[in-house]
Amino acid sequence: MWKNSRELTINEVARIPFFNDQSDEDLKILSEMLELYYYDEDKYIFKEGEVQDSLFFIMNGSVRVLKKTEDGNNQTLAQFEAPQVIGEMAFISPGTRSASIMSITAVTAIRFGCSSFEKIIKIRPELAINILRKAGSTVSTRLKKANKTYLKAIHETENHS
């Protein structure tokens, strides 16, 4: 992993699905707070159990979501292709990461730190509310999908018994 120290342009920030409906003024504020990272394939973006201090926007590449099993191995729960947001729970609930994210291919990611989000709450509360709604919507969509997968697994188990 390596961090690119240059500031993102307004156009780059506008390409992030979370922010494509924001004003130029809000995009400018965000461009000063977002950080650009690059990961080679098979590298952790974050690990299960780490403190949640940011969310990431995967702009290029693909990642897998890994969860530790009882025997200590990693189980793949999902795969995501760019563009995608990961780690959105960091903005909703403090605590530790519930899963790991590992690159499958080379990945370009934009990090949005919780400390930057807290600054936005103070200087642009409307923008902060919009971001929270989008993070909540992402969590809701993923939970609905997980519920369907869980019900399907239960149904299949019942049919095989």
CATH architecture type of domain 2-160: Sandwich (2.60)
Q: What is the pLDDT of residues 13-55, one digit of tens each?
A: 999 988 989 999 999 999 999 999 999 999 999 999 999 999 9
pLDDT at 161 over 70: no
pLDDT at 154 over 90: no
pTM as predicted: 0.85
Domain boundaries, the chain: 2-160
Q: What is the pLDDT of residues 63-120, one digit of tens each?
A: 999 999 999 899 999 999 999 999 988 888 889 999 999 999 999 999 999 999 999 9
Cα 130 vs. chain centroid, distance in angstroms? 16
Report how far residue 135's alpha carbon sits from residue 90's, in angstroms, rounded to the nearest whole number.
9
